[in-house]
Amino acid sequence: MPPPNFGNEALLRLRRGLGVEPAWTAGGAPLWSFWGTLQRAWSSPVVTSDRPTWRLHLHTHLLEGFTGTAAQMSALSSCLPHASLAAVVPGTRPQSLELASTVDVHDGNVGSMVRLLAVAARAQVAEARFLVSCSKTLAAVGLAASADTLAEMPASMLNPDQLVVRETSARSSGRLWFRRGLSMCVETLLQQCNVRAVPTPWGVSATFFEGTRDVRSILEISIDGGRPLLGTGISVSLWTPVRGGPDDAISWNQREVAATDPCHGFGGWWALDGGLLVHRSFYPIGVCHQDLVSQFLQAYARRAQCANALAAAEQE
């Protein structure tokens, strides 16, 4: 008998939690409108895992008219918020961009991963709607935000039982959780090769080295005082020695979302004004637990090792 398909089960739970029903399909993936914004989600088996595992993909339509010109890249850099739980990737429709999150589910984590993906769905929609405030800037370079800002906020955005992502309990509760998790973060990071991790006044700082070369990536983890619709959480930034622009960041995001190895695809790559690539993400306290923290730290360790190896190869 084949194992239960936890991917399909997770997607069903996700749609129920959001209070949406698929209106149609595209490329085999169900689509729906959530708070005036198109979303789609699908699952696929992870063949490289040592247990029956499925990868959930969640995408939200962001904008149309993307051709990648220098003017468009400049406009996007000035308008796009640093996505909290998603990466900016090319869309399925020609000349479009989407926000994407991915997570692997199995028999031991379906509930917690659905909760996290539900938060990601709300965050993606909120960020897509934010782009409408930049309509004039985007229109000047041929871009158009796609969210319908006249759509009413769905009930699942406001119901605490449905994981409303807005400021909930006192911020002190987040700080207490973070203090308890500091030692765990440091211990998990120190299990990686060529890394130095230490607690700091604001959280945790870790430096990943590439062999004997003077190449390093720096990971910063800190408590975040709160974000609209998301509340208190953990901010994570990985500063790398790799140079690139917004187009490179989008390409890195696309490769990561399409990867076949076990992954934890929240947050995304961004290009700094100085020309270096940084990966950023944000995890609301309400969905943080030990396994999740371990997963996102391991994912950042892999990103750091990949970035350092690339920078070292460019020095040769």
Give the pLDDT of residue 234.
Answer: 84
What value does the mean pLDDT of the chain take? 83
pLDDT band at residue 71, thresholds of 50, 70 and 90? very high
How many domains does the structure of the chain reveal? 2
Chain segment 78-126, per-residue pLDDT in tens: 887 766 789 999 998 899 999 999 988 988 888 888 888 988 998 899 8
pLDDT at position 159 over 70: no
pLDDT digits (tens, 9 = 90+) for 20-61: 987 777 767 889 999 999 999 999 888 776 788 899 999 999
pLDDT score for 287? 77
In a shared domain, residues 141 and 180: no
How many other C-beta atoms are found inside a 10 Å radius of the C-beta of residue 100?
27
The tokens for 83 are 């996505």
Mean pLDDT on 140-163:
78
- Tell whether 57 and 124 lie within a shared domain: yes
Tell whether 11 and 155 lie within a shared domain: yes
Domain enclosing residue 139, as ranges = 6-162
Domain boundary, last residue among 143, 162, 181:
162
* Same domain, yes or no: 144 and 196: no
Query: By percentage, how much of the chain surpasses pLDDT 70?
Result: 85
Residues 241 and 114 in one domain: no
Instruction: Provide the whole-model pTM.
Output: 0.89
* Residues near 316 by beta carbon (within 8 Å), at least 6 away in sequence: none
Q: Are residue 197 and residue 308 in the same domain, yes or no?
A: yes
Report the CATH number that the domain containing residue 110 is assigned in CATH. Answer: 3.30.1460
Round to whole Å and give the CA distance between 313 and 316.
5
The reply to whether 87 falls in a domain is yes
1 lies in a domain? Answer: no
Domain identity same for 178 and 139 = no
Boundary of a domain, candidates 108, 139, 162: 162
User: For the purposes of burial, counting CB atoms within 10 Å of the CB of 297, is it exposed (0-12), middle (13-18) or buried (19 or more)?
Assistant: buried
> Burial level of 135, CB count in 10 A (0-12/13-18/19+)?
middle
